[in-house]
């Protein structure tokens, strides 16, 4: 069978990882790379001399020798490049966030559907073995009913000037929240502050809370101005609690047999009716493969097998709707905003 021919548009600090990954996949052939920055193209040429390089992405989106375009360019260019790719009959993997504007994202989703092309979004963490594990745990009710969850994605640096911490980091957390919580996100509130780039109002730290139709809440803290490097999820269920700590090399998941029993029974004296159970902590073995390799392989598989991606365009749009409402709330000092 002929291999899927791929080109990558945007070979900056993250895009280069896609270049390396697609180059090494045996289900596709990486043909070329586009970047506006000459230095990035030289780096590609040095490492992969046989690849075509061009500053003009249209050399690939409009070429008959390319089947699929990967778009890890800066977020504000995703729409233009992905639209051109889809219009010219190319399958498309766009980095997160899918676009900056809901109507534009909807247009891409509609275009892909109309042209019967795969449109996928790089919500990387949904290809993480630990997230697979959490999903199964939650779906099989091993922690009882999910009550709430919170995530922390904080570190010191890399300070961005083209987007705030919400848009830079939170797509990861929001994508996991929507994946794990089997209910519609209806409202979000967000607060934060810009300390380093006050004049441009670029928030370095953001705290957001998403309210779901079934009463579950999910809250997140994102920041590039923090003494700790934390990438952690905590899920509190009615029977057990679980953490996913991505900074741990091996023991990423811990299940705590802890909880409060009797909390949902109506007694006159609530405190007397409740008892705390504080049992064992277990550390299950989780199969871990490189998430980016899984993500990129999945994209190619979806093209070959004509499958809907786990993180398809609609999923990108769903995450974007939360981001847009959260930004609105952030601009209004935390006033809750409906998610469209
Ligand atoms: N999934 C993840 O875990 C993850 C991690 C980091 C970044 N990202 C996403 O990847 C994207 C890129 O992030 P980055 O950190 O690599 O940014 P970056 O600024 O380092 O790289 C972006 C590159 O795109 C190039 N570019 C911009 N417009 C272009 C055009 N019209 N044609 C060709 N090249 C163009 C720029 O020259 C630059 O080299 C962003 O959307 C970001 O949110 C995802």
Tens-level pLDDT at each residue, the chain (340 residues): 689 999 999 999 999 999 999 999 999 999 999 999 999 999 999 999 999 999 999 999 999 999 999 999 999 999 999 999 999 999 999 999 999 999 999 999 999 999 999 999 999 999 999 999 999 999 999 999 999 999 999 999 889 988 999 999 999 999 999 999 999 999 999 999 999 998 889 999 999 999 999 999 999 999 999 999 999 999 999 999 999 999 999 999 999 998 888 766 555 566 667 788 888 999 999 989 999 999 999 999 999 999 999 999 999 999 999 999 999 999 999 999 999 8
Residues 6+ away with beta carbon under 8 Å from 321: 102, 339, 340
Question: Closest Cα to atom 33, ligand 1: which residue?
Answer: 35
All domains of the chain in start order, with CATH:
4-117 (3.40.50.720), 127-290+322-338 (3.30.360.10)
pLDDT at residue 183 in the model: 97
Of 8, 9, 10, best ligand 1 pocket probe by most atoms within 8 Å of the beta carbon:
10
Give Dmax (Cα) for the chain: 76
Q: Is 221 exposed, middle or buried (0-12, 13-18, 19+ CB in 10 A)?
A: buried
Q: What phi and psi values does residue 58 have, to the nearest 5 degrees?
A: -65, -20
Ligand 1 within 6 A of CB of 57: yes
CB neighbourhood size of 242 (10 A) = 23
Nearest-atom number in ligand 1 for the CA of 55 is 33
pLDDT at residue 274 in the model: 77
pLDDT at residue 157 in the model: 83
Residues 6+ away with beta carbon under 8 Å from 328: 337
pLDDT at residue 322 in the model: 98
Ligand 1 within 6 A of CB of 124: yes
3-state secondary structure of 90: coil
pLDDT at residue 222 in the model: 98
Ligand 1 within 6 A of CB of 6: no
What is the pairing mode between strands 68-71 and 205-212? unpaired
pLDDT at residue 266 in the model: 59
Q: Where are the alpha helices (DSSP H) in 89-192?
A: 102-115, 129-139, 165-180
Helix axes 291-305, 15-24, angle to 10 degrees: 60
CA of 141 to the centre of ligand 1 (A): 38
Residues 6+ away with beta carbon under 8 Å from 45: 51, 53
| Closest C-alpha to 150, from 120, 181, 105 | 181
Nearest-atom number in ligand 1 for the CA of 57 is 32
> By the 8 A CB rule, do 215 and 185 touch?
no
Q: Distance between terminal CA atoms of the chain?
A: 43
pLDDT at residue 218 in the model: 98
Model's pTM, two decimal places? Answer: 0.96
> By the 8 A CB rule, do 185 and 333 touch?
no
pLDDT at residue 262 in the model: 74
């Amino acid at each position: 069978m002929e291999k899927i021919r791929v080109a990558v548009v945007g070979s900056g600090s993250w895009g280069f990882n896609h270049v390396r990954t697609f180059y090494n996949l045996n289900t596709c052939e990486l043909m070329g790379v586009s970047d506006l920055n000459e230095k990035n193209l030289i780096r590609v040429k040095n490492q992969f001399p046989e690849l075509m390089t061009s500053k003009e992405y249209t050399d690939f989106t409009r070429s008959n020798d390319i089947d699929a375009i990967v778009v890890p360019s800066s977020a504000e260019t995703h729409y233009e490049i992905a639209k051109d790719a889809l219009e010219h009959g190319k399958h498309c993997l766009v980095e997160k966030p899918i676009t900056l504007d809901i109507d534009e994202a909807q247009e891409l989703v509609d275009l892909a559907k109309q042209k019967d092309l795969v449109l996928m979004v790089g919500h990387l963490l949904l290809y993480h073995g630990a997230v697979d594990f959490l999903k199964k745990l939650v779906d099989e009710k091993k922690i009882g009913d999910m009550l709430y969850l919170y995530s922390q994605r904080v570190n010191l640096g890399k300070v961005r000037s083209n987007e705030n911490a919400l848009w830079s980091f939170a797509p990861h957390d929001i994508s996991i929240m929507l994946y794990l919580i089997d209910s519609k996100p209806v409202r979000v509130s967000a607060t934060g502050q810009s300390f380093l780039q006050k004049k441009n109002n670029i928030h370095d730290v953001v705290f957001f809370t998403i309210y779901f139709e079934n009463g579950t809440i999910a809250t997140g803290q994102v920041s590039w101005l923090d003494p700790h490097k934390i990438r952690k999820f905590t899920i509190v269920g009615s029977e057990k609690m679980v953490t996913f700590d991505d900074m741990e090399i091996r023991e990423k998941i811990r299940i705590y047999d802890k909880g409060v029993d009797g909390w949902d029974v109506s007694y006159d004296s609530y405190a007397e009716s409740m008892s705390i159970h504080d049992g064992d902590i277990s550390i299950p073995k989780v199969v871990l493969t490189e998430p980016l390799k899984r993500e990129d392989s999945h994209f190619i598989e979806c093209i070959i097998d004509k499958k809907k991606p786990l993180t398809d365009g609609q999923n990108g749009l769903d995450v974007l709707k939360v981001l847009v409402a959260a930004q609105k709330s952030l601009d209004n000092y935390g006033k809750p905003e409906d998610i469209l």
